[in-house]
């Protein structure tokens, strides 16, 4: 915004008419010059106004971010060291080993936890435990949010299928889940998936990885 203000000041200064000297030999020349300056200033201000409105509109369309874009090593360590903060049912040492053995980036997992809390936990639960009645269809025929911690059927889909579901592609027609394609980037959706998979037991993880289709990139 400071750059915009700078150019606006320059345009205003450029368009300010300068008084002609009493001894100017050609009064019409100064009058024409001032007229041209005023024209250029009005055109420039119109373009500047349009630019400001375009920038404001772009900011309004931008989805709000969730959590921190960058995480310090201390923040990552604090979350992975506290099973309650991580939303897992195993001790911190086991959780760290699980993440390492599966080739997950700890920063990605913690980032996925932040995004999960901001975008998914209100329906799927703080620890991805799902709705209490997730096995009972609603009156409208849709299924309540299921557990994502390995207790339901999420692991029965490949990584690519789960990512498509999150983005709104090939989404279950009987689910009430809102697609996240317009709210989360591809990297953010992958981070959410990695966090969800970090909650799965070794048995569930192994069975999911044996499904047809290559896993998503780490």
Torsion of CA 116, 120, 126, 131, to 10 degrees: -150
CA distance 63 to 57: 12
Report whether pLDDT(152) > 60: yes
pLDDT at 27: 56
Query: What does the domain layout of the chain look like in residue ranges?
Result: 2-61, 73-209
Other CB atoms within a 10 A radius of the CB of residue 80 amount to 21
pLDDT at 28: 55
- Residues 38-47 have a mean pLDDT of 52
The superfamily (CATH) of domain 73-209 is: Cytochrome c-like domain (1.10.760.10)
- Buried residues in 106-122 as b, exposed as e (16+ CB within 10 A): bebbbbbbbbbbbbbbe
Q: Which residue in the block uniquely carries the two structure tokens 């709705």?
A: 131
**pLDDT for 5-28, tens place per residue?**
444 444 445 444 445 444 555 555
pLDDT at 105: 97
**pLDDT for 156-166, tens place per residue?**
999 999 998 88
CA distance 63 to 173: 25
**Paired residues of 175 in beta bridges:** 143
CA distance 106 to 76: 7
pLDDT at 48: 45
The DSSP output letter for 127 is T
**1-15, 34-48, 74-88, 117-131, range with the lowest pLDDT:** 1-15
Query: Token digits for 215?
Result: 């896993």
**SS percent in the chain: helix, strand, coil, step 5:** 55, 0, 45
pLDDT at 53: 46
Angle, CA 26 vertex, CA 21 and CA 28 arms, to 5°: 100
- Residues 30-49 have a mean pLDDT of 52
CA distance 170 to 42: 51
């Amino acid at each position: 915004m400071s750059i915009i203000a700078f150019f606006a000041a320059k345009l205003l200064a450029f368009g300010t008419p300068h008084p002609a000297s009493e001894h100017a030999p050609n009064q019409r020349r100064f009058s024409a010059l001032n007229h041209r300056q005023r024209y250029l200033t009005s055109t420039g201000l119109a373009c500047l106004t349009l630019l400001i409105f375009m920038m404001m509109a772009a900011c309004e369309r931008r989805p709000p971010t969730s959590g921190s874009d960058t995480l310090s090593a201390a923040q990552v360590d604090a979350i992975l060291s506290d099973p309650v903060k991580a939303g897992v049912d195993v001790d911190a040492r086991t959780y760290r080993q699980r993440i390492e053995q599966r080739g997950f980036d700890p920063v990605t997992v913690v980032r996925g936890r932040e995004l999960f809390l901001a975008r998914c936990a209100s329906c799927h639960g703080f620890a991805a435990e799902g709705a209490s009645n997730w096995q009972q269809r609603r009156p409208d025929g849709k299924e309540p949010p299921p557990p994502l911690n390995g207790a339901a059927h999420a692991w029965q889909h490949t990584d690519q299928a789960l990512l498509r579901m999150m983005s709104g592609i090939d989404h279950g027609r009987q689910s009430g889940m809102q697609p996240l394609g317009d709210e989360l980037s591809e990297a953010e959706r992958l981070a959410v998936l990695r966090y969800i998979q970090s909650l799965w037991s070794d048995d569930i993880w192994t069975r999911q990885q044996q499904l047809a289709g290559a896993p998503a990139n780490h």
